[in-house]
Chains A and B, each alone.
Chain A
Amino acid sequence: SQQGEEDPQALSIQEGENATMNCSYKTSINNLQWYRQNSGRGLVHLILIRSNEREKHSGRLRVTLDTSKKSSSLLITASRAADTASYFCATEDYGGATNKLIFGTGTLLAVQP
């Protein structure tokens, strides 16, 4: 089963603009991760934020986490055409021994050159 919803389902912006996508989840978490998937390919890890962190930056990425609302957001600044991809949030199975990931439904980002 999916962990939660991502919003929006699809987003189209112009190169240079910022892109914001949101993720909601259902259970308690150890951490929340964001992955990128180019069309029809495997996933690439972008950034991880722990449950005791509220904000984290990595290059052009900024992630926020609000555990009281069980939500996270991913901001990509100064977007490029190469950022066109699907973006997924994922949480680790809380309290489990396997650290399996539970993914959201994804946001499809299209950056127009």
Chain B
Amino acid sequence: DTGVSQNPRHKITKRGQNVTFRCDPISEHNRLYWYRQTLGQGPEFLTYFQNEAQLEKSRLLSDRFSAERPKGSFSTLEIQRTEQGDSAMYLCASTPLWTGEGEQYFGPGTRLTVT
């Protein structure tokens, strides 16, 4: 049973560069979430997909951020013109459409460092 996978696990980039992260959810999980976690804090919600539809975006997701889930399977999160404040752990989670329990399954995260 494969869990949620994320690539890359670590990314170091220079300020102003674009970066793209990938999340592969658990097979047949309709719901996919992106969260961002800064040092010493809990994760904060960024965006939500139900199948291929992006149904909610946090105000944390500025215009420089874009997320897609083109075929309702894997998802990508792109950050354009990165800033030092974008340095964080980016977490992806998935659940079936009907969990009955609310548990989310998290990937290992992508740690972004902007220099």
Contacts and interface: CB of A to CB of B under 8 A. Distances in A.
A30 B100 CA distance: 11
Size bracket, chain A contacts = 20 to 34
A105 interface: yes
Interface residues of B, number: 30
B103 to A, nearest CB: 5
B59 to A, nearest CB: 10
Nearest to B55: A98
Interface of B: 4, 6, 31, 33, 35, 40-45, 48, 50, 55-56, 89, 91, 93, 95, 99, 101-109, 111
Nearest to B59: A1
Dominant secondary structure at the B interface: strand
Interface stretch (A13-21, A40-48, A58-66, A75-83): A40-48
Contacts of A2: 41-42, 44
Nearest to A40: B111
A16 B19 CA distance: 45
Contacts of A92: 102
A104 B42 contact: yes
Contact of A101 (B43, B55, B56, B111): B43
10 contacts: A42-B106, A45-B103, A48-B102, A48-B103, A96-B56, A98-B55, A99-B31, A100-B33, A101-B33, A101-B43
